[in-house]
Structure 1
């Protein structure tokens, strides 16, 4: 069984897809970070640095299961022929991780795509020329602002992901925050991309934030003010990150992150 976190009636499940090095040195990804900040981040998450000094990323999605259904947040790097193949360690193992959690693709009723980067949409649509949504019964949720900016964010995903989802009438566009059918909430967290979104799960005193790329390295958790070179709007990304990290509710804030070594971090 994959790692999971129980929050009231919700089980948040971390679904591993793969792991591998980032395509550029981490010093280029966070050019303002100091040696002291890197040292603190390495103590916090030593697994994010490999033996050759490269930034080592996890690639994972998350499922939220309750008696109301199954919500999937993001769709990993995908199979060997996915759009992420040019840089990410494909093929991913998301189907096997889903099976280990007892989830069939047909069980998923909602897929939240946090944003249109290739390592987050890889299993959304499969089949190449015979493209089909991998989750046949799911509504796929994307911020309208993300689709409006697709030519700037990732134009190849229009034909690879968006058009097939529209063909089967499975794409639904959101305008900002929105409730989900399972009781979770989508929270607009723009900055990394114009329509980046995260998912919040709240029960009692606990709050889980499934972050997407709101933060991609522990250095942003320790120093949320630091700019990441691949944020499209640095100031907006900083504001979104700080807003979520302040959302402690009455009790514990749990972060569910796709790229840090540990899938769940309590604050």
Structure 2
């Protein structure tokens, strides 16, 4: 069984799809980080640095399961011929991870795509020339702002992902925050991309946030003000990150992260929401 977190009626399951090095040095990705900040990040997440000093990423999706249904957050790096094949360690293992969690693709009723980067949409659509949604009964949720910015983000995903989802009548465009059928809600967290979104599940005083690329490295968790070179709007990304991390002080915010070594991190906000 993959790693999971139980929060009230919800089970949040980390679904591994692969791991490998980032395509550029981490100091280029975070040019403003100091030596002391890197040292602190390496103590916090030593697994993010491999023996050759490369930034080592995990690639994972998350399932949120309750008696109200199954929501999948992101769709990983995908098969060998998927859109992430040029840089990510494909083929991904998401189908095997789903099977290990007892989830059939047909059981998924909602897929939340946090954003349109290739390592987050890889299993959304499969089949090459006979493209079809991999999760046949799911509504795929995407922010309208993300779809409208596709030509700036990655135009190849129009034919590879969005057009097949539209043809199957599975794409649903959102305008900001929205409740989820299976519980929890989508939060608009723009900045990394124009329509980046995360998922928040509340259970009493405790919450879990599936962050997408709001957090890609521990240095951002320790220093959320740091700009990431691959954010399309660094200032909006900072505001989104700080709002999430500095949420209500009561209880624990569990962070479900796609790229850090550990899939779940407990975070206690030090300051009230801004």
TM-score where L is the length of structure 1: 0.99
* Per-residue deviation, 1:182: 1.2
Tell me which residue corresponds to 1:127: 127
1:166-245 aligned at under 5 Å gives the runs 166-245=166-245
CA distance in 2, matches of 1:134, 1:253: 31
Change (3 A) 1:177 1:249: farther
Change (3 A) 1:78 1:102: same
Cα distance per residue 1:177-199 (max 9 Å; x no partner): 00011121000000000000000
Structure 1 range deviating more: 102-111 or 176-185: 176-185
Tell me which residue corresponds to 2:270: none
CA distance in 2, matches of 1:79, 1:247: 37
Tell me which residue corresponds to 1:47: 47
Is contact 1:207-1:248 (8 Å) kept? no
Cα distance per residue 1:116-148 (max 9 Å; x no partner): 000000000001111000000000000000000
CA distance in 2, matches of 1:176, 1:114: 12
Tell me which residue corresponds to 1:137: 137
* Per-residue deviation, 1:248: 3.9
Cα distance per residue 1:127-171 (max 9 Å; x no partner): 111100000000000000000000001100000000000001000
| RMSD value, Cα | 0.6
CA distance in 2, matches of 1:197, 1:36: 31
Tell me which residue corresponds to 1:73: 73
CA distance in 1, matches of 2:66, 2:129: 35
Is contact 1:206-1:249 (8 Å) kept? no
Matched residue count: 267
1:98 aligns with 2:67: no
CA distance in 2, matches of 1:234, 1:152: 16
CA distance in 1, matches of 2:232, 2:138: 29
Q: Which runs of 5+ in 1 are unaligned?
A: none
* Per-residue deviation, 1:250: 2.6
Tell me which residue corresponds to 1:20: 20
TM-score where L is the length of structure 2: 0.97
CA distance in 2, matches of 1:249, 1:181: 27
- SS of the residue corresponding to residue 57 of structure 2 reads strand
Q: Which runs of 5+ in 2 are unaligned?
A: 268-274
Is contact 1:214-1:237 (8 Å) kept? yes
* Per-residue deviation, 1:28: 0.3
- SS of the residue corresponding to residue 85 of structure 2 reads helix
